[in-house]
Amino acid sequence: MFKGRIGVIGAGALGAFYGACLARAGADVHFLMRSDHEAVRQHGLRIQSILGDFDLRPPVYASARELGPCDLLLIGLKTVDNAALPELLAPTATADTIILTLQNGLGNEEAIAAALVSNRTVCDFPTASKQIIGGTAFLCSNRIAPGVIHHSAHGFIRLAEFCGRPRSRTHEIAQSFVEAGIECEVRESLASIRWEKLVWNIPFNGLGVAAHHADTRVILEDPELRALAWNLMGEVLEAARADGVSIPDELRADLMQKTESMGAYKSSMQIDYENGRPLEVEALLGEPVRRARRAGIPVPRMEMLFALVRRLDEQNRCRIRS
């Protein structure tokens, strides 16, 4: 188990679940919580999980300054909040802090490195990059009430260094998740695991919004939507290959099978849309489309999905402001 002080920034459905599992296994985990801070401080954190329910009374903080410096930071923020990274990392990250981001999409490691440089935590981008580990989490988990997380399926994590090959720390962190009951493996290529996750995220997050309240069961049981999801997956595979990542075609069938087991699962983007919250459009849809365009790879379905979801997100944000 990782021996240092672990801070969870973005303790929602993902961060709170993984942080709670690590804490239950004996790790020294501290949670930065804003909207749920008072509820968790008074009543604790409750995890309702297919792996077994449990309650936890962890140390919680209302601000990054209260949280203070950590040896390992687990970033579970929605990517729409990445603009706050400089403010959040300034009091919590030192030049020796390891930062693990489990955020969705592309560009998050770059945003963290830029924040470390802007805060003068380190002097340059290459130095900052060496502090960062990227991870993807295939997890069905939702926050159903303040301080209550419902974990309904899956949970495995893949980790890779942002800069260079896996190191002893990479394996130590992966082993900590394993000891906490979470399947976790270390991979050589961060780009590979990011694009593999997008093969699922792009169709099922995007269609969950664009097809109007379309959970995974709705998508899979509608022949047209199922075919569209399958073809979107194919475009993501082509975009990944153009970005230097080779992913076997068999992944599509494997992900479809895993999705069948989820039942009527609502993606995080669908839930955010239904609750009037900003969507992770750029990281999940925009950046993959831009990379495909730069490589000269036609991805017409991805482009259409990006345009539709971006428009719906803009309308949502206008309603929020009004």
Q: What is the pLDDT of residue 316?
A: 83
pLDDT at 320 over 70: no
Grade residue 199 by pLDDT with cuts at 50, 70 and 90.
very high
Rg (CA), the chain: 19
Pairing status of strand 148-161 against strand 184-186: parallel
Query: Taking the alpha carbons of 249, 250, 251, 257 in that order, is the dihedral positive or negative?
Result: positive
User: If you average pLDDT over every residue of the chain, what do you get?
Assistant: 94
Q: Which residues in 108-191 belong to E strands, given as ranges?
A: 132-145, 148-161, 184-186
Q: What is the pLDDT of residue 155?
A: 86
Query: Percent of the chain, pLDDT > 90?
Result: 86
For residue range 33-52, list pLDDT tens digits in order.
Answer: 988 988 889 999 999 998 89
**29 DSSP assignment:** E
Q: Cα(280)–Cα(260) distance, rounded to whole angstroms? A: 24
Q: Cα(285)–Cα(300) distance, rounded to whole angstroms? A: 12
Helix/strand/coil for 179:
helix
Q: Cα(109)–Cα(131) distance, rounded to whole angstroms? A: 10
pTM, full prediction:
0.92
For residue range 153-196, list pLDDT tens digits in order.
Answer: 888 999 999 999 999 999 999 999 999 999 999 999 999 999 99
Q: What is the pLDDT of residue 237?
A: 97
β-sheet bridge partners, residue 49:
151
pLDDT at 102 over 90: yes
Query: Percent of the chain, pLDDT > 70?
Result: 99
For residue range 251-264, list pLDDT tens digits in order.
Answer: 999 999 999 988 89
* Residues labelled as active-site residues: 197
Q: What is the pLDDT of residue 9?
A: 97
Give the side-chain half-sphere CA count within 13 A for 257. 5
pLDDT at 322 over 70: no
Higher pLDDT, 140 or 311: 311
Helix (H) or strand (E) run with residue 42 in it: helix 37-43
Phi, psi of 46 (to 5 degrees): -115, 125
Q: What is the pLDDT of residue 231?
A: 98
For residue range 202-240, list pLDDT tens digits in order.
Answer: 999 999 999 998 999 999 999 999 999 999 999 999 999
Q: Report CA-CA distances (Å) from 110 to 96, 125, 229, 265, 302.
A: 18, 9, 29, 30, 23
Q: What is the pLDDT of residue 321?
A: 65
